[in-house]
Amino acid sequence: MNTNDFIFTDKPNGISTHRSDPGQLGWCEYLSQKHNKKYFVAHRLDKTTSGTLVFGANPDAADQLRQLFEARQIKKRYLFLTDRNSQSDQFEVHGEITQSKKVFDFSPGPSKSSHTLFKRIKRNAYAELWEAVPLTGKTHQIRLHAQSIGLPILGDTLYGGSPFSQICLHSESLELPGLEPFKSAPPIFFERLGLLNDPILISLLSSLDSTQRVFQFLKSENNKMALRGATWTDKNTLWVLDILGPYLWVHAFSDSAASPDQLNRLLFISQLLGRPLALQLRPNRGKNLFSDIVWMGGPPPTQNSWTITENSVNYLLKSQQGASYGLFLDQKANRLRVQQASQNKTVLNLFCYTAGFSLNAAKAGAQLITNVDISKTYLEWGKENFLLNHFSLENTQWFKVDSIEFLKKLSLKPPQTKGSMVNRYDIIICDPPTFARTEKGVFRLEKDLEMLLNLCQKALAPRGELYFSCNLEAQDILELHKKIIKNLPFHTVLPLPSDLDYELSHSQHGQSKMFLIKPKTTDL
């Protein structure tokens, strides 16, 4: 067999094998997009199952895989957890699996149309770890067969399992004829069963496990990667864990200090991932901008600053600058989009913060980059980021001014003629706060959204693109989408998904609603 015809992958829990929702990528589509090569589905794992999965690199290879699966020539091995006590350490299960609409049922019997071998690996007071070797490949086969022997999979409530943060089923190995087995290590709590005594920790570990399977952030060559790691709730406190290269950062949205159990949980994560961890208390639902930071699991960065790398761009992060360390992770996918679109373009970055979008425009070779922010501190930080990347400041402008006032003055100027000063831009990035006090009064996005959109539209070149995002909690993305379309009826408004680390961490907190807005005359 030609190994170039196949791609062996390690699918995370929480994503379907292929697209099941128009608004979400499946694992196959995600890998195809990432590698810029189309892959083809030959078999599937449930959304809630992690581990080994193989795709065809072309239609013929996918057909070959399907034939091998049907001929039972591909060996598979699964691991699962159950909280039930077994009376034997081995079982052989076979019989008929039938389907009525979307409901599957299993009837034990002499038929071996569905056939699985089970072997207990280990047990403790909380759970048992089992091996399942399916000799056939029916839908939900292992889950149904495990239920039939009184060992339903932990978390599989559809088939009698106890409620849990996930269905604890993992595809451990896959072997094609003549090739070495492709193996995938299970989540850590499959190995260390004592961790199951802490469901909150398991939820956190499960999220981190999925992020690692996608991004491989624990590999030494990825030690400068920045990702949303996990979000979880404990005692009415929302916890957000960010992976920032060699450091971890945890936001605790609470008015009270962390308990000893919560601190021990964070220390365990710090030691497990081998990174010092900064805990920042964010009272008043995160609206208080300044709060103390406590480091654990190792020393803080030298001079309270360090760098991370994202899409070949470096960013300077700082740990003593208020509520944020200098980068909004939810904008990672948008920053890459701007990098891909900015070559030879004029770019206006409003509310520019530390100039992350501008760095990506510079990376692409933008003609002119205009940065606008009311904070001198952030503008200087942005210039530091340019120098960190050895990007010239020659084709940049930096304005310490309110972005609304900047747009208003720009709107009074006539569209530029050839060779005149730029006052209409090919690309505008607008990521406003939901609330801000300015010299002219109070800005509230919910009230001032229409004005802001119209000002941005006036500042666009005839075929310009507006990247607009916000954290407006009062409206979901569908409501906001409709409102933008209503205010800009002659434009195409496209919702933009965030990167997969946000989807896998189930994070909505701190995640912007993102849109690409273009005149309808623009080719899509």
Measured between alpha carbons, how far is residue 234 from residues 209, 239, 261, 277, 289 in Å? 19, 8, 11, 18, 22
Distance CA 286, CA 281 (A): 8
Contact 27, 9 (CB under 8 A): yes
Instruction: Report DSSP state, residue 76.
Output: E
Phi/psi of residue 357, nearest 5 degrees: -65, -40
Contact 193, 124 (CB under 8 A): yes
Q: How confident is the model at residue 522 (pLDDT cuts 50, 70, 90)?
A: very low
Phi/psi of residue 440, nearest 5 degrees: -90, -5
Predicted TM-score (pTM) of this structure: 0.90
**Length of the chain, please?**
524
Predicted local distance difference test score (pLDDT) of residue 412: 86
**pLDDT tens, 442-490?**
777 878 889 999 999 999 999 999 999 987 766 778 888 998 999 898 8
- HEC secondary structure over 314-350: EEEEECCCCCCCCCCHHHHHHHHHHHHHCCCCEEEEE
Q: How confident is the model at residue 512 (pLDDT cuts 50, 70, 90)?
A: confident
Contact 65, 6 (CB under 8 A): yes
**pLDDT tens, 149-169?**
999 999 999 999 999 988 999
3-class SS of residue 245:
coil
DSSP assignment string, 481-516: HHHHHHH-TTEEEEEE---HHHHHTT--TTPPEEEE
Burial of 15 by CB count in 10 Å (0-12 exposed, 13-18 middle, 19+ buried)?
Answer: buried
Distance CA 498, CA 136 (A): 38
> Average of pLDDT values for 219-226?
94
> For residues 437-458, b (16+ Cβ closer than 10 Å) or e, as one string?
eeeeeebebeeebeebbebbbb
Q: Which domains does the chain have, with CATH numbers?
A: 1-71 (3.30.70.580), 73-197 (3.30.2350.10), 201-307 (3.30.750.80), 328-519 (3.40.50.150)
**pLDDT tens, 278-333?**
999 988 755 555 567 999 999 999 999 999 999 999 999 999 887 789 999 999 99
Within 10 Å of residue 41's Cβ, how many Cβ atoms?
A: 18
Contact 97, 113 (CB under 8 A): yes
Distance CA 407, CA 428 (A): 11
Q: Which two tokens stand for residue 10?
A: 């390690």
DSSP assignment string, 339-400: HHH-TT-EEEEET-TTTHHHHHHHHHT-SEEEEEES-HHHHHHHHHHHHHTT--STTEEEEE
Contact 308, 226 (CB under 8 A): yes
Contact 246, 275 (CB under 8 A): yes
Which of 105-119, 121-135, 271-285, 329-343 shows the lowest per-residue confidence on average (mean pLDDT)? 271-285
The separation between CA 500 and the C-alpha centre of its own chain, rounded to angstroms, equals 3
Phi/psi of residue 190, nearest 5 degrees: -75, -30
Predicted local distance difference test score (pLDDT) of residue 464: 95
